[in-house]
Structure 1
Amino acid sequence: MRTAYQYRLRPTKQQVIELDRWLAMLCAQYNYLLADRFDWYERNRSRINACPLVCHLPELRDNPDYYSQKKTLPHLKKTHPWYGEIYSQVLQDVVKRVKVTFDRFLKGDNKGKCSGKPRFKTLNRYRTFTYPQMKEGCLQGKLINLPMFGKVKVVWHRPLPDGFKIKTASITKKADGFYLTLSLEDKAVPDIKPDFNPDKITGIDVGLKEFLTTSEGETVAIPQHYRKSQKRLRVIQKRISRRKKGSNRRERAVKQLGRQHKKVADKRKDFHFKTANWLLSKYDIVAHEDLNVKGLANTRLAKSVLDAGWSSFLSILTNKAENAGLLVIPVSAHNSSQDCSNCGEKVPKELHIRWHDCPLCGCSLDRDHNAAINIKNRAVGQSVLKGAIRSAEILYGGMAGFSRVTQKVEYALSSSA
């Protein structure tokens, strides 16, 4: 099992200068390797629909893959001796970053989805470098010993878990300072609980009126961290617009804006962790909608959707459930708010209608509560039974159809068992 722990660094003034210097050199090397990849791409590609019958064929280049670019690092240290001050594995990790970025552009990710054309990094956008391997004795009290850099003070706000081995260490520059991210590995895989309590299964419906509603009717209020801080952000943004471009005062105002945005992000992340802990402390299985958050972020509700941070919350919930041996199940979001949770009848309603009233069975409850019950039913498979019963009522009519289909479903379930 792999997990990550993040801690704040307390480097000295000289170490801060050295960290910024490393980032600047690594950024330049990243852009150089990416430019080499683009040069090969432009020389070797040919547009078939725009190629004449008689044309000059340029001399083709060999593909600058990961290994060929890694072999250029010893020559780099000879032509640019100051790169010899950087740990060799940190430089090799830059080559790997270029490879992963360019492969996603040409070949796509694991699902075959291609990313956009990679961009060259500015100093403000290149903020992280990684040690791919760390020695066992790298932690010394309140310090961490980084190869070819030295010992840096770390704020250990929580202890490392027992039995885990440090695999990688990443140094990241954020708006309020430098942070250390340790990737930990434990070969033991957490066992999933063999006996789930049927009373500890819930479905959650995330929304914009309430952050989430459970199938038991419990609600969690939406905090709206970004909207509450918009006034302060607007003041700082106006301060930046009044500053002269390139001046030190404008640079200080930009850093102040970055710190304010980070405060908002940290509050949201803290809320997500606390909500996930609350859910997993009460339930063994949590079902949620398989949402297309990217699609919702392109609508007129984009600011509210991104402020809620549903994707981040569901990712945190899934990871914490895996570590605890619990289950988080995504189910289809199709008509979860429209279908009646009691009889399965589809009750169409607009987004502004927040109450569910079923004309067939008389079920009346909050729209989000109804959706949460549907999500739970889909997770445990009850929605299939209710759909079959409702089809029988329509096809045969009355309780006779109900009893006939119920007997067929019970017989099928007993035969399969």
Structure 2
Amino acid sequence: MRTSYQYRLKPTKKQAEIIDNTLDMLRCQYNYQLAQRFDWYEQYRCSIDRCSLFVCHIPELKDKPNRFSQQATLTQLKIDRPWYKAIHSQVLQEVPKKVEIAFDRWLKGDANGKHSGKPRFKGKGQYKTFTYPQFKKEHFQKEKITLSKIGTVKVIVHRQIPDGFDIKTVSVTKKSDGYYITLSLDDKTVPTVKPDFDINNIVGIDVGLIDFYVASDNTRIAAPKYLRKAERKLKSAQRTVSRRKKGSNRRKKAIKKLGIQHKKVADTRKDFHFKTANTLLKKYDVVAVEKLNIKGLAKTWLAKSVNDAAWGQFISILNVKAENAGLKVIAINPNGTSQECSGCGIKVIKSLSERTHNCPNCKVSLCRDLNAAINIKARGTHALKAQSMSS
């Protein structure tokens, strides 16, 4: 089982300066290697590499830059620019890996075939994380962690690492309110499914903007709307930034305050998502959710409310927590869950403004979202039984 623990770092002034310099040097290297890829792509992306004529002016193809060829140039980089010796070699080798992932997601897409946008060059302060791909557990003792080329840094350990977990990677991140460290942990002894797993202990949830979710057992949680509640403070902080002179120290301080405000909203929302996921998984072994096109919904006139609800983050957290607990989250097709009657199954067409489901056939009358949640549960039960029969 893989999981991640994040702790806050308390570096000294000198250690913070080293981290900042490391991030800036890695940013320069990231931009340089990304530019190499773009140069090759612009010159040689045409599939024709030979000519049938006797006299040909097509230049000889250069080798396409890849992760390993760019990693091989790092030795010469340290000779030409000795200050790069201040960065741990494996940390520096992670940069070509990041470049390759970003470039391939743009051209080839991810495992599901979805393409990302064209990679961008990172401006000053936009490269925020570097990773140690190998780490010895003994370098993290009590409330201190030893990072190569940085030193021993104080850590606020708000929760202990469980017994049996090995530290696989360590990432250092700079955020608006300070520095953080993320430990990627692994324990292969944890079972994938609980021995007392019950597929009949299932609930369906219908997410929304008025109620964050309505469950098939008629429990509901109101949408917290953290962004909406913080809009006044965010607007004031943004106005302060726009009034400051570009490049001034006062503008930098104002930007930092704005970043802290945004981070507070994001952290509060994430904490709500974790607590909501725990509440569901303590009560049920299976949670059926809709497989929503959240990116599409975020392009409509409801974009701000959809992004404020952050259903994608919640479902992702729910999946991870369920997997760690040996439970299951099943995604089902949402088409027609609101229009279909949960009592008799016929379609009852209604507009989005109609919040009550009234069936003319079986006379069922209940909340529109509750009707959808019951249908989601029924579809989830059917899909789960089909999976168990096929396996």
C-alpha distance in 2 between matches for 1:238 and 1:366 = 42
Alpha-carbon deviation of 1:47?
A: 7.9
Contact map agreement 1:43 1:60 (CA 8 A) in 2: no
Give 1:167-316 correspondences, 5 Å limit: 167-197=168-198, 200-316=201-317
Q: What is the percentage of aligned positions where both structures have the same residue?
A: 59
The residue type equivalent to 2:221 in the other structure is V
Query: What secondary structure sits across from 2:171 in the alignment?
Result: strand
Contact map agreement 2:199 2:384 (CA 8 A) in 1: no
Structure 1 equivalent of residue 2 of structure 2:
2
Q: Which moved more, 1:162-171 or 1:183-192?
A: 183-192
Flag structure 2 segments of 5+ consecutive residues without an equivalent: none
Structure 2 equivalent of residue 388 of structure 1:
none
Q: Relative to structure 1, is the Cα distance of residues 138 and 90 closer, same or farther in structure 2, using a 3 angstrom cutoff? A: same
Query: What secondary structure sits across from 1:356 in the alignment?
Result: strand
Structure 1 equivalent of residue 28 of structure 2:
28
Alpha-carbon deviation of 1:191?
A: 3.4
Q: Which structure: larger Rg?
A: 1
Structure 2 equivalent of residue 45 of structure 1:
45
Query: What secondary structure sits across from 1:3 in the alignment?
Result: strand
Alpha-carbon deviation of 1:243?
A: 1.3
Q: Relative to structure 1, is the Cα distance of residues 47 and 243 closer, same or farther in structure 2, using a 3 angstrom cutoff? A: farther
Alpha-carbon deviation of 1:112?
A: 2.3
C-alpha distance in 2 between matches for 1:198 and 1:329 = 11
Structure 2 equivalent of residue 15 of structure 1:
15
Query: What secondary structure sits across from 2:251 in the alignment?
Result: helix
Query: What secondary structure sits across from 1:170 in the alignment?
Result: strand
Q: Which moved more, 1:82-91 or 1:192-201?
A: 192-201
Q: Relative to structure 1, is the Cα distance of residues 249 and 163 closer, same or farther in structure 2, using a 3 angstrom cutoff? A: same
Structure 1 equivalent of residue 85 of structure 2:
84
Structure 1 equivalent of residue 326 of structure 2:
325
The residue type equivalent to 1:355 in the other structure is T
Contact map agreement 2:24 2:125 (CA 8 A) in 1: no
C-alpha distance in 1 between matches for 2:371 and 2:56 = 66
Give 1:136-151 correspondences, 5 Å limit: 136-151=137-152
Query: What secondary structure sits across from 1:211 in the alignment?
Result: strand
Query: What secondary structure sits across from 1:329 in the alignment?
Result: strand
The residue type equivalent to 2:24 in the other structure is A
Structure 2 equivalent of residue 341 of structure 1:
342
Contact map agreement 2:197 2:285 (CA 8 A) in 1: yes
Alpha-carbon deviation of 1:198?
A: 6.3
Give 1:91-110 correspondences, 5 Å limit: 91-110=92-111
Alpha-carbon deviation of 1:114?
A: 2.6
1:366 aligns with 2:363: no
Cα deviation 1:2-49 (Å, max 9, x = unaligned):
11110000011111111100001110111111111112112212388x
Query: What secondary structure sits across from 2:223 in the alignment?
Result: coil
Contact map agreement 1:374 1:383 (CA 8 A) in 2: no
Q: Which moved more, 1:185-194 or 1:132-141?
A: 185-194
Number of aligned residue pairs: 382
Cα deviation 1:34-90 (Å, max 9, x = unaligned):
111112112212388xx9x99842332111111111111111111111101110000
Cα deviation 1:371-417 (Å, max 9, x = unaligned):
00000011112999xxxxxxxxxxxxxxxxxxxxxxxxxxxxxxx9x
Alpha-carbon deviation of 1:123?
A: 2.1
C-alpha distance in 2 between matches for 1:129 and 1:264 = 25
Contact map agreement 1:33 1:98 (CA 8 A) in 2: yes
Structure 2 equivalent of residue 393 of structure 1:
none
Query: What secondary structure sits across from 1:381 in the alignment?
Result: helix
The residue type equivalent to 2:99 in the other structure is V
Alpha-carbon deviation of 1:148?
A: 2.0
Structure 2 equivalent of residue 352 of structure 1:
353
Cα deviation 1:260-288 (Å, max 9, x = unaligned):
00000000000000000000011111111
The residue type equivalent to 1:286 in the other structure is V
The residue type equivalent to 1:220 in the other structure is I
Query: What secondary structure sits across from 1:64 in the alignment?
Result: coil
C-alpha distance in 1 between matches for 2:290 and 2:235 = 35
Alpha-carbon deviation of 1:189?
A: 4.2
C-alpha distance in 1 between matches for 2:199 and 2:91 = 50
Query: What secondary structure sits across from 2:185 in the alignment?
Result: strand
The residue type equivalent to 1:109 in the other structure is D
Query: What secondary structure sits across from 1:370 in the alignment?
Result: helix
Query: What secondary structure sits across from 2:109 in the alignment?
Result: coil
Q: Relative to structure 1, is the Cα distance of residues 244 and 186 closer, same or farther in structure 2, using a 3 angstrom cutoff? A: same
Structure with higher helix content:
1
Query: What secondary structure sits across from 2:211 in the alignment?
Result: coil
C-alpha distance in 1 between matches for 2:204 and 2:144 = 44
Flag structure 1 segments of 5+ consecutive residues without an equivalent: 385-415
Q: Relative to structure 1, is the Cα distance of residues 383 and 353 closer, same or farther in structure 2, using a 3 angstrom cutoff? A: farther
Q: Relative to structure 1, is the Cα distance of residues 55 and 114 closer, same or farther in structure 2, using a 3 angstrom cutoff? A: farther
Q: Relative to structure 1, is the Cα distance of residues 356 and 55 closer, same or farther in structure 2, using a 3 angstrom cutoff? A: farther
Contact map agreement 2:171 2:181 (CA 8 A) in 1: yes
The residue type equivalent to 1:42 in the other structure is E
C-alpha distance in 1 between matches for 2:81 and 2:143 = 35
C-alpha distance in 2 between matches for 1:104 and 1:212 = 33
Cα deviation 1:123-172 (Å, max 9, x = unaligned):
22100000000013111221000112210110000001111100000000
Instruction: Compute the TM-score of the two structures, normalised by the length of structure 2.
Output: 0.94
